[in-house]
Structure formats: structure tokens, C-alpha cells
Structure 1
């Protein structure tokens, strides 16, 4: 009987499950749920919430689907790894019941709370001890709940990140990781514990934070209830957990200083590995503990995030092609019919909440230079893809200014990176070789789980089957046109920022 490593990737659009053949290290297949994107509720401008119960329901569907497709027997699963959308807030009572919808990563309601904390606690403390402003992260969202929903706050037993909640549903154990605490701005890098001064400033009890476990470790075992729901055997260990961006880097074997990974799903990220902790005084990028960090070999991930990336492409598909059977592949083909620069049509894709690269300003999404006599569907499709890449390029320049740079950027062959136009633009704007690999977050989570139970001796063994399937280099004949279009885009962006 074949045996498998199971990875579950909890995104904001869907929950994906992958099986890795434990003997060959190759992907046996994947499934995801729902088939259409998960709902994100926005009761007020700048808010973004999801129901944690929907995450679990879709995880059950995805796991059952892939096990049926592969014909994986209940006792063939050796371990489970989890990847999850970062920075979210899930609060539960003593019975483990969710007290309110999760406040997810792109929610902007706590921006001012974080800014006030930075001003009151001081830049020196925040940068040296937290490596970040409390900003719009999990701890600030919890403070918002305390201030605005006191009855909810007073009922909280524990605070969890989205992946912690999924692990809790699997095992019944409430826990997190040190990397997870760092992403929620709940870690003191000097004292190596939760930051007492920050919790006291917010008036929050440190006991609300979950127990921290190593990223690769025995984090609990599949309960009888969860096993029954998933169609698996009780007792399977959960042995890996990481936020989606550290996990994406791990999935691409991006583990050492000088290596960089990228994603472009709902949001877009460029994530570089450094040895020494690095803080951006302007808080445009953020530093967290990477998955392979140890006291002996420090590893930190510097994350540049653009909230409005793939969601902009999704918006275009829904609204430009209403009622039509137009796929993203069809849109990529349309984009290829328009020239570099989209004939002066420019798109700012920032319509998914406050953007950290603009110091938490919410500038919205917009089309600029639209000519009703000249521009059509092809121009709009290309302009959106170029606008997303230009936004990532703008963020990459910030990373470069801070000393995070590389001549090679790795990405999974998925989401926006399925488009050759997008990839070509990305390579020409960053000036880096773009390497695409046959992996994704759920596969990375499965391999991480394999390391967690000792199935793999080290990361090199875990990634024996990883291969680059496609690459893009800057093209000398085309790069000037891309650079010119990017420069025009930055002029529009600068004017927009000046008007705020």
C-alpha cells in the first residue's frame, strides 16, 4: 500500500489539499474547495471577515476529494502539514467555539490602533524588540475587538491565527508557533517571549496567546471527530504549520540568506531571507521568523506584500466578462494581443484595503488614461497584469533599498505566474531571472510535515523531486519598453499618493 504526506493550504480564496507520495516524493494530486472563491464579508469599508467554520467545511471537502481521487486509504496518511493565510484573528471561548467572524489579513480597521501604539511605545522599542510597527496585524486587531466588542473580548479564552484554528479542528489542541507569534507582532525578539510591554499597553492578558510549538514538531494528533469528518484514521500527527508566505518560500526551498521567493495570488508577495533581523523604520515591509530559524542559525523572512494583485485580475474577469465563459487562460491570450505598456492604459491595482508599502494608506484601484476610441478588452487585460507587476516591482525596489536583493526569484507555477505576459513583465521589471517550480503551498506543507515526523532527514531530501519547469530572463530588446511603461505608471502613482 502506498503511503502519503497530506498538506492543507488555507487561503482566503479556497482551501487546497495535496498528497505527496512518501516513497517517491512526487505529487500524487491535489483538490480544492470551494470551486468558486470563498466569500469575504465586508460589513464596512476596509473590513474583511470570513467564517472559520467555512474554512473547516472546505478543508473536509478538499481532503475527502483528493483521497478519493488518489484512492488513498484512511490509514495511508502518515502526517498532516498546514499552510495558512497570515495575520488573521480568530477568537474562541473555553469550549473552543468561535466568538465572531475571523478578521483576516486584508482588513484595515486596526490601522490607527497600530499607528498610535508605534507613536506611544516609540520607534526604538518597536523596531528593536518587535522588528515591526504593531501596524494592522493580529495584536492590533485584538485591541480593536477589546475596544469595540467588549462582550466578545471578555469571553475570549484563546487567540489564534487561521492555521492555528485549523490545527485545533484537526487535533483539539490550541497552539501556535514562534513564527506565528512573530507574524501577529506578539513576539519580543530580545526576550524571546511574548512582548509584555506591548500587551500591557493594549491592556491585553498575555495568557490569551496560544502555546508556541516548533514549526516542525508533533503538534497534536487527529481526533476521532476530525478523523470521522475527513475519512482518515484517528491519531495521524499534525507535524508542520506555517503562514502562507514563509511556507511558500519553504515550498520553493528558499531557506538561506540571499534567496528570494514570490507569490501572486489574491495578494502578491516578494519574500527574501536574511540572517540578521532587519527592520524598516517606515514599516513598508515586515520581518518575521522564518520556518527554519534556530538559535544556532538565525533565519528571518522580509516580506513585501501588495494586497491588490490577483484579486484585481479576478475583479476584471467578473465585471468585464459578465455572463461569458471566459477563463483566465482566455484573458492571458487577450493580453498577448496588446502591446507592451498597453498603449498608455495604466492600472493601479490597490483596491483590497490599506497597503503597507504606502504606510497603510488605502488608495483604491483605478484605470488611468482610458481612451474610449482606442482601448478594448485586450488592453484592459494586459494593463491589469502590468499594473500588478508594477506594484510588485515598486515593492521590490523598497526591498533593494534595505539590502534584500537577488539575481534570481523563485515562484510556483500557479495563479498569476501561469501567464507568460505576467512572467515576462515581472522579469523585465525586477531585472531578475524568474524560475517557476512544480510546487505550491499545499505541497510545501506536506513536505514540511514529512520533516516534522522524521520521514525526511533534512530539507534537501524533502525537495529531491523539486524541479524548475520554466524560466524567464530580462529581454534586452524588450526591457526598455517595459521600463518606460513602469516609469509612466510610477508618475501616476506618485500623483495619486500626493492627493491623499
Structure 2
């Protein structure tokens, strides 16, 4: 590990900051992480975080990297790439961020956003932005939370953009992250003046836009002190965590869909043409590489639903998987609609949806309920892939998250999808994708996903079960 071809990637996620270092071949040689808390707002609602906690976590995660590599190897880091949760709002004041940051989990601006979108026309906004705008985008968040404090604000940034600002002093975003501001024009690839006026936003508050792999600037002295790395290292502008994950897991390859399972589940494929969905069921976002786009669908409460069931039944993830796999295909007649986050996106886009368990009887066991939940999540993933398949059908799937670590669950997903499913190895795919965009010349791509699980005989049984699930939980009328 000599020379300056080591790449450091930082992913500022929803609950923790993950760091990875790639060697010149693209292999992961060190990882680090540090978590932070999410709090409700002063009104007891919402989901807020402290930007200072993100910076503390960045320092701790990179300290873990330095301890693993040692001084000599750490000196070989030639550049830093960034990725981050989207959209999460940071308002900058004269002396730094005006805490707290309002995360993408916060729905308090939904009412305002709904009124503006209805007046402007949701379909028209979708054609203009590629997004299904709601109160979790930065412009409506800012108007709701900071509209009365315009005089205090010097700029607005998403979470990843704030991390870039803290490391380099430059206020800059990339197209994939800019899409989360709700004022980015997909066709023009720039801030849209009409959308800026729609949300009553001062354009002077917006950062400049540059390609995700462009150099935002050198690591300045404060960034050097924070990370314990030499000042002057080039830092990339970075990308949204969803497209950074897709870059790592599937590369820029049409026909490969990536499924990233964290607090929510992101389903995304890569396409060369900006093709919008006639029904607006997926969002179309600029990719981490120029000239490419990601068709993205998000299931809101899959990982949080998994964790909730673990707490409810007082079991760990391994026990959850073992009992679910021991239950029969079809969960002995139990079905579970996994809409546990107060509505759903995915292919449904219905904020009124709630979770439901159907078919319970006294004969059922805990494992039947756990399997039914997993089958419900997998049926929703299949529903999303079917929507993407109307224009371009995925030929294979790569999965990251808790399912990827279990051969049994991976095989179950292959059966439900009737597609080969490959696991992504342990390191955070968004952090790896961030490292791939680090400004280091001559570096190789990341290592490939693992061997695919192929559909088994159980796949045939899931055809009828999936059709029954769709009849019980149909597409919402639009």
C-alpha cells in the first residue's frame, strides 16, 4: 500500500458516518464508523440532528481508519470522496450552521409542500425535476422551518454538502444531491429560476453545482485537524448516498438493479437516457457519473420495521432470520403489509398507508409473522422492479444490508424476485462509492459483488403468493 492511490470515502448516513479506504486495486483495506442520535424537535415532532455530531463522528471514524492502517499507510491516502443522506437540511448562519439539521425523516413540512405542489401541479413538477416533491425536500423544509429567519441565513446545504463545506470551506453540491433541493431542473442540469420562485427561495442561498467527481477544494486546516490527515488533500464534491451505493454495487451497467437495505430500502438502476415514468412511480435522479441517470424507488420502513420487530419480540437479527427461514413458504397463510413508517413510497406513493397483518390464527407462531414481514418487504421490492421493468427489465440484482449477510434470506429474495441475487460484501456501499469518486488518478474500480443466489423450486410457489399479495394490497388509485 505505497504511493498516493489510496482513496478515503466518507458516507454521512442517517444514523452513522461510515468511512472506508480502498487500495489501488479497489479492495477495501480499512473501515471505520461512528454513530449519532436523532432527536424530535422542540414541538415533540420531527427528526433532527446536530451537525456538530456529524463532524465528531467523521473524526472518530477516520481515527479508527488511522489506527488500522498505521501512520505510513495513512500517509498514502491521495484523496477524499463524499456521500450522504438525502435530503437533510442545514441552514448556514454567519458563524456556521444554525442547528439543528432537519433530516429527511422529518414530515412537518408535508402540509405546506402538499398545498404548493397541488397548486403548481404535481405531474408538471415531476416532469421538470424528476422528483415527487413532498415536505422532505430542502426547499419546502427551509420555507417551513426557516422562512421566518431569512435574515439569519447565509446559505442552505444538504448534509453531504455541509460535510464538504466543513472540510474545504466551499459551498458546492452535485447534481444527484441538488435534485433533493426541489429546485433543480433535470433537463437544464441547473437551478431552475421558476422553481426557486415557486418555493419563495432566495437563489443567493443555494450552493454552486459541480460534477460529483470534481474537486471541491483542498482539505483546509480545520478539516485537517478534524480528520487527522494532511492539509491539501483533494476532496471531491461527492454524491447522494443512493447513487454512490449504486456506483459501487452495480457500476454503470444497464440491466443491474441495486437494492440497498438500511433504515429504508432503496431500489435503483442505471440508465443512459432520462426516461420519466408516465405515472410518476419512480424518481429520476442524475447519477454519480455525468451522462447517466438513476431510476430510484424507496421503501420507507423496511430496516426500521425489522428493528421494531426485533424489539417487540425481544430477539436479535440472527434469531429473526433463523425463525423466519424455519417458517414455511407463504408464512402459513399470514401476509404482512410492511407500511410501518406512516405511509409508503416505492411504487405506491400513498401517505395514508399503514402496516397490516392478515390471516393470523391461534395456530401461528412468531416465525410465521417474521417470515410474513420479510415476504411483504420482498414483494414490495418485486413490485418496484416490475415498474422499472416496464421500460427496461433488470436482469440481475445486487443487495446490500442485513439480507446480504444471510445465504438463506438471499435465496428467499431470489425466489420471490425470480432473478439471480448477488450479495454486496460487508463495507458500506455508499462509502465505497464515495471513495470511487475520490480525486485519485489511475485508481481501479471496487471489487465485485459476491456469487449470486439463483431461484430455487420455491420460486414457482411465490408466483401465486405474489399475485395474492397484489390483490390484497393493490396499487393506490392516482
Would you call these one fold, judging by a TM-score over 0.5?
Answer: yes
CA contact (8 A) 1:5 1:20 kept: yes
Q: Structure 2 stretches of 5 or more lacking a match?
A: none
Is 2:3 aligned against 1:31?
no
- What displacement does 1:328 show? 1.6
CA contact (8 A) 1:80 1:240 kept: no
CA contact (8 A) 1:217 1:453 kept: no
Is 2:49 aligned against 1:62?
no
CA contact (8 A) 1:79 1:237 kept: yes
Q: In the superposition, relative to structure 1, how do residues 19 and 86 fare at CA in structure 2: closer, same or farther (>3 Å)? A: same
Residue number among 262, 272, 276 corresponding to 1:279 in the alignment? 276
CA contact (8 A) 2:126 2:133 kept: no
Q: Tell me the distance in 2 between the aligned counterparts of 1:488 and 1:253.
A: 31
Q: Tell me the distance in 2 between the aligned counterparts of 1:237 and 1:104.
A: 28
> TM-score under structure 1 normalisation?
0.87
Partner of 2:331: 342
Q: Tell me the distance in 2 between the aligned counterparts of 1:393 and 1:348.
A: 14
Residue number among 302, 305, 327 corresponding to 1:309 in the alignment? 302
Q: Deviations over 1:337-388 (max 9, x none)?
A: 11112112222222224423333414233333333x3233322332222222
Q: Tell me the distance in 1 between the aligned counterparts of 2:465 and 2:123.
A: 39
Moved more, 261-270 or 125-134: 125-134
Residue number among 368, 387, 390 corresponding to 1:379 in the alignment? 368
Q: In the superposition, relative to structure 1, how do residues 115 and 256 fare at CA in structure 2: closer, same or farther (>3 Å)? A: farther
Q: In the superposition, relative to structure 1, how do residues 110 and 432 fare at CA in structure 2: closer, same or farther (>3 Å)? A: farther
Q: In the superposition, relative to structure 1, how do residues 399 and 114 fare at CA in structure 2: closer, same or farther (>3 Å)? A: farther
Q: Secondary structure at the match of 2:22?
A: strand
Is 2:216 aligned against 1:219?
yes
Partner of 2:397: 409
- What displacement does 1:419 show? 2.7
Q: Deviations over 1:407-432 (max 9, x none)?
A: 112233x3332233432232223222
Q: Secondary structure at the match of 1:71?
A: helix
Q: In the superposition, relative to structure 1, how do residues 244 and 405 fare at CA in structure 2: closer, same or farther (>3 Å)? A: same
CA contact (8 A) 2:256 2:395 kept: no
- What displacement does 1:198 show? 1.2
Q: Tell me the distance in 2 between the aligned counterparts of 1:41 and 1:406.
A: 39
CA contact (8 A) 1:132 1:279 kept: no
Partner of 2:469: 489
Q: Secondary structure at the match of 2:19?
A: strand
Q: Tell me the distance in 2 between the aligned counterparts of 1:435 and 1:387.
A: 20
Moved more, 201-210 or 135-144: 135-144
Partner of 1:9: 11
CA contact (8 A) 1:83 1:441 kept: yes
Partner of 2:383: 394
Runs of 4+ in structure 1 deviating by more than 4 angstroms, as ranges, are 42-46
Q: Deviations over 1:29-64 (max 9, x none)?
A: 212213xx7435366787332222222211211111
Q: Tell me the distance in 1 between the aligned counterparts of 2:51 and 2:153.
A: 15
Question: How many residue pairs get matched?
Answer: 471
CA contact (8 A) 1:282 1:359 kept: no
CA contact (8 A) 1:31 1:65 kept: yes
CA contact (8 A) 1:437 1:470 kept: no
Q: Secondary structure at the match of 1:364?
A: coil
Residue number among 476, 479, 487 corresponding to 2:459 in the alignment? 479
Partner of 2:320: 331
CA contact (8 A) 2:172 2:209 kept: yes
Residues 363-378 of structure 1 aligned to structure 2 (within 5 Å) = 363-371=353-361, 373-378=362-367
Q: In the superposition, relative to structure 1, how do residues 342 and 124 fare at CA in structure 2: closer, same or farther (>3 Å)? A: closer
Q: In the superposition, relative to structure 1, how do residues 482 and 139 fare at CA in structure 2: closer, same or farther (>3 Å)? A: same
Partner of 1:19: 21
- What displacement does 1:168 show? 1.5
- What displacement does 1:14 show? 1.5
Q: Structure 1 stretches of 5 or more lacking a match?
A: none
Q: Tell me the distance in 2 between the aligned counterparts of 1:302 and 1:114.
A: 23
> TM-score under structure 2 normalisation?
0.90
CA contact (8 A) 1:271 1:304 kept: yes
Partner of 1:93: 93
Q: Tell me the distance in 1 between the aligned counterparts of 2:127 and 2:226.
A: 45
Residue number among 414, 421, 444 corresponding to 1:427 in the alignment? 414
Q: Tell me the distance in 1 between the aligned counterparts of 2:297 and 2:168.
A: 32
Q: Tell me the distance in 1 between the aligned counterparts of 2:407 and 2:106.
A: 31
CA contact (8 A) 2:213 2:236 kept: yes
CA contact (8 A) 1:123 1:281 kept: no
Q: Deviations over 1:255-310 (max 9, x none)?
A: 144332221111111112222222235433101111112xxxx3111101101111
CA contact (8 A) 2:305 2:338 kept: yes
